Chain A
Amino acid sequence: MGNYILKRIMSIIPVFLLAALLTTGMIHLSPVDPAEAYLTAAHIQPTDEILAQKRHEFGLDQPFFIQYVNSIMKICQLDFGISYVSNKPVWNEVIYRIPATVQLAIASILIAVFVSVPLGFLAGVKKGSVIDHFSRLLSFFGASIPTFWLGYILVFFFSVKLNLFPVEGIGTWQHLVLPSITLALPLIAMYTRLLRASVLENLQQPYVLFARTRGLKEKTIMTKHVLRIAISPMITGLGMNLGKLLTGTIIVESVFSWPGFGRYFIEAIFNRDIPVIQCYVLIAASLFILSNLIVDIVQMYIDPRISRKEGQHR
């Protein structure tokens, strides 16, 4: 099993290198000249001389490959350059803002899991019931509603009308409620649907019938046997959907003025702060790759078939 993990880690590295390649290339594709942007942000008049000097400093006059290797080395030391806007190291700025995003993300995932597991499971087991119809409706609309609008609707009802939660900002747990629900809904939509389909599929399987003929309690069969197998695709989905989560944080943080990494990213786009943009994309890519790896490992524990295929006994 350790071998398997090692192999998977090894396969990540080329993808990571590719991502680094692309982000380095971004600088060249951009019409923004990093040297010029830097000087403008620092309020220094960009004369040709100073420009050339800055370019040299940034290593922009070197062959692309060397730049690429340099950026990789810097990235490994967590050096993402200096923000054009604030003139401070990008990494510091990012570290400062990441905790807020992580808090939001974790809250959302927890909400999503706690809602979609029972909902999806019950929808599958009691197919055709009220719960089932409700869950499918929820799944459909949850996937179709624009996240930013959902945020405002929630704000309108719960903050403005009912005055239960603050409209925006960060601070107390009340501040966390609406943003995390907004972020969780698309996830709930997806996971509920996944789990429901998986449960339905499993209910048709012979092992369920055999368990019944053995006289096991229906509740035991459902919760112990079926759920355990059915939840597997949902876990895969969880990992795959880190992307949706990330995307969601960008929008949710803007709607609720949540001071996290996502909002910083948007600001950077407005400000053409290329190093920050680079950093974000790279981190997003790494997170994405990492989450796939973790999902694979978790799958291995849940479904013994994956790692033990070699143990055929005659």
Chain B
Amino acid sequence: MGTEESKVLQVRDLRVQIKTKNGVATLVQDINFELKPGEILGLIGESGCGKTVTSMSILQLLNRKETTIEGSITLKGQELNGLAEKEMRKIRGKDIAFIMQNPMNAFTPVFTIGHQFIETIRSHTHWNKKQATELAVESMKQVNLPDPDKLLKYYPFQLSGGMLQRLMIAIAASLHPAIIIADEPTTALDVNNQKNVLHHLDRIRSEYGSAILLISHDLGVISEMADEVAVMQHGKIVEKAGVFQLFDSPTHEYTKKLLNARPALYLEEPVINLI
């Protein structure tokens, strides 16, 4: 469809193995997918299916001593697998941003959020504190966080989950990353905050053209946000298709099972027949 450059992230034949007491165990294998700019790829699966392992391999944050990663992970043409740590560090947070599941634990408790935000910005740029603060405030305004100047002086435990999650999005978006990996970004939130978070993610991808790898076990979230969907089971991708196609006519057994597990919200039969 496009040339190599139009794909922002390409994962080919990814296989991750871990050394255990009883030998070598395979965590994920035959993982193939790609992300195009401004596209959202949803990754569905139950816990333990390998979603997190996949995202951690992209970030190259798996334990290098115990795990082996085979396959190719290219970001805008640059091979990430096996990249030197020094180079990889520059990419994390700037070209690939990460949003964690539980915002309450994600921040270091003893530093203000402002401190942590600015520290992130300054580790990727040569800006001084004032410039970094301006950027931080700007990003926070975009996610509708009230009173950013004041908020920067707060400690993480003083903010609610919804605010912290939006803050994570602000930090993730501030450096205009090519990819955002969002690992269960809505799971820990109530419905209102969920909508908020998804709204901002959507805005970011259309404004900056960031591609998003959206990991979730929540089918509603995936169906609403994703363009393409990949279903994972036991460390493998069992089905991958466009979102409409997947939800309307799933082909794999497991996908069908997942979709059928949703409670139906509408009745096809007249109520009178059910009595």
Contacts and interface: CB of A to CB of B under 8 A. Distances in A.
B110 A213 contact: no
A50 interface: no
Interface stretch (A35-43, A151-159, A303-311): A303-311
B109 interface: yes
A213 B124 CA distance: 12
Contacts of B124: 215
Contacts of A312: 158
Contacts of B93: 213-216
Interface stretch (B98-106, B221-229, B254-262): B98-106
B123 A210 contact: no
A19 to B, nearest CB: 35
Given A217-B89, A305-B157, A308-B155, A207 B120 contact: no
Nearest to A304: B155
B105 A206 contact: yes
A161 interface: no
B83 interface: no
Interface residues of B, number: 32
B102 A206 contact: yes
Contact of B109 (A214, A216, A305, A309): A305
Contacts of A211: 108
A172 to B, nearest CB: 42
Contacts of A133: none
A217 B110 contact: no
Contact of A215 (B105, B120, B163): B120
Interface in A270-314: 302-305, 308-309, 311-314
Interface in A203-241: 205-207, 209-218, 220, 225, 228-229
A218 B124 CA distance: 14
Given A206-B102, A213-B61, A213-B98, A304 B91 contact: no
Contacts of B98: 210, 213-214
Nearest to B92: A215
A7 B154 CA distance: 26
B127 to A, nearest CB: 15
Interface residues of A, number: 27
Contacts of B159: 313
Given A207-B105, A228-B110, A212 B154 contact: no
Interface string B148-163: 0000001101111001
Contact of A212 (B61, B94, B163): B61
B102 A214 contact: no
Max chain A CB contacts within 10 Å: which of B97, B107, B109, B171?
A: B109
A216 B106 contact: no
Interface in B69-97: 85, 89-94, 97
A62 B219 CA distance: 84
A213 B92 contact: yes
A210 B107 contact: yes
A204 to B, nearest CB: 11
Nearest to A202: B108
A214 B174 CA distance: 11
A304 B100 contact: no
B143 interface: no
B19 to A, nearest CB: 14
20 contacts: A206-B106, A207-B107, A207-B108, A210-B98, A210-B100, A210-B106, A211-B108, A212-B61, A215-B91, A215-B94, A217-B89, A218-B85, A228-B110, A229-B108, A229-B110, A303-B110, A304-B155, A305-B155, A313-B154, A313-B163
- A-B pairs, 5 with minimum CB distance: A215-B93, A213-B98, A215-B92, A206-B105, A214-B93
Given A213-B97, A217-B89, 13 more contacts: A206-B102, A210-B98, A210-B100, A210-B106, A214-B92, A214-B93, A216-B120, A218-B89, A225-B110, A305-B110, A305-B155, A308-B155, A312-B158
